[in-house]
Every structure is written in structure tokens, then in C-alpha cells.
Chain A
Amino acid sequence: NFMLTQPHSVSESPGKTVTISCTGSSGSIASNYVQWYQQRPGSAPTTVIYEDNQRPSGVPDRFSGSIDSSSNSASLTISGLKTEDEADYYCQSYDSSNQGVFGGGTKLTVL
């Protein structure tokens, strides 16, 4: 079964840059697009990155996504961290049967 693995938590200071990784268990993570979702406590998720590196309208350009085939991983980078960025972040893609797969989520603390 295809799985996506994320770090449980990351923390960084306001104004700094943080990168959250998402590693595929098998195959090539580049075979299907990767999306990233932000979920603040008590709220529904929202999309911050789709199709590996595209930002929906309204998402600041401080958010960026990338794929590294050599490590079979995707990354979400948030620059110029703000306290409002504190949230859970989930990566999502599809397996070889086009079934959706989520990473376990990463809790970002901005302190």
C-alpha cells in the first residue's frame, strides 16, 4: 500500500522559513500530483498547494511546493512565518489505483 510519511511536528520562529516534507513509500511520488492542506484548530482544511506547486488564488506567495524525485518526496515551504500559519498541514496524493492517500499530518508551531 502506498503511504505518505510526514514529520509529526515542526517549529520555527516568526519571520523564518520552514519546510515540511512528505515522503512516498514506493513508486515515484512524481507519478501523481501532490496537494497540501492547512487545517487550523476547529476548522475544515483548506488547500494551500495543488498540482505539486500551484497556489490557489488568495494563498500568499510565502507558500510554495516542490517535488524531489531523488528522495521520492514532496515539500511545503513557508517563508516569512507568521503566527497565523500555526496549523496542521497534510500532504495528499493518489496511489496506483487512483485512490486518495493522505500523509499523517504535521503540526506547525510558530513560536
Chain B
Amino acid sequence: QVQLVQSGAEVKKPGASVKVSCKASGYTFTSYYMHWVRQAPGQGLEWMGIINPSGGSTSYAQKFQGRVTMTRDTSTSTVYMELSSLRSEDTAVYYCARDGYSSGWDWGQGTLVTVSS
């Protein structure tokens, strides 16, 4: 079965960067795109971008252009999301989600990133 296991919680200072990982198993890693979505405390879901694990191509939400970088390592079936120039408003749970096409999205368990001085 599809499993997406994300890295653990992070605490960062304003201005720093954070890199969250999402290790995939149970399917052919390079055959399915991966989304990143975040959720601030008490708020709704926000789409950040998508990566094609096959060739590494990406598309980012305009709001995060210039601050977010999504990469992948096919040798370990892991995708990464790095967000730079962190501010308090970036405190959120970050999710990876596999786009299953004709089966819907499968979600990781989420990673809490706290930005605080």
C-alpha cells in the first residue's frame, strides 16, 4: 500500500530555511506527481506546488515563487520541500500528497514547522 512518511517537527528562527522530506513506498516513485500543501494553525489547506519525480520538473504557487524549492532523490524515493526566509506566518503543518490520478491523492502524516524567535 502507498505510504508517505514525512520528517519530524522543526523549530526555526525567522529568516532561516527549513527542508522537509517525504519518503514514498508501496508504488513506483517516478510514476506519480507529488504535491506539497500547508495548513496554518486553525486555518484551511493551501497548495504550495508540485514536483514530477521522474524528471524533477516543478510548478510553484505564485505566492511561494522565489522562496520554495522542491527536489527529489530517486535513489531513496524521497521528495523534499525547502522553504527559505521563514517568517512567523510560515508556522504550519506541511503535507506531501501523491497525486494518484484515477484514485485520488494519498497524504503524508504532516510535518509541523514552527517559526519563532
Chain A interface (Cβ < 8 Å from any Cβ of B): 35, 37, 39, 44-47, 49-51, 54, 56-57, 90, 92, 98-105
Cβ of B47 under 8 Å from chain A: yes
Taken together as a complex, chains A and B put the C-alpha atoms of A100 and B37 apart, in Å, by: 9
Interface range, B side: 20 to 34
Q: Is B75 an interface residue (CB 8 A)?
A: no
B107 cross-chain contacts in A, Cβ below 8 A: 44-47
**CB <8 Å contact, A100 and B61:** yes
B95 touches A44 (CB 8 A): yes
List the B residue with the shortest CB-CB distance to A103: B44
* CB–CB B44/A56 < 8 A: no
B contact residues around A50 at 8 Å (CB): 100, 102-105
Are the CB atoms of B47 and A99 closer together than 8 Å?
yes
Q: Chain A nearest CB: distance from B31 CB in Å?
A: 17
Whether A37 pairs with B105 at a CB distance below 8 angstroms is yes
Say how far B37's CB is from chain A's closest CB, in angstroms.
Answer: 8
Of A39, A49, A51, A100, the most chain B CB neighbours within 10 A belong to: A100
- Establish whether residues B104 and A35, one from each chain, have CB atoms under 8 Å apart when the complex forms: yes
Knowing A44-B95, A44-B108, A45-B95 touch, does A102 contact B103 (C-beta < 8 A)?
no
B109 at the interface (CB under 8 A from A): yes
Residues of A within 8 A of B95 (CB): 44-45
B110 at the interface (CB under 8 A from A): yes
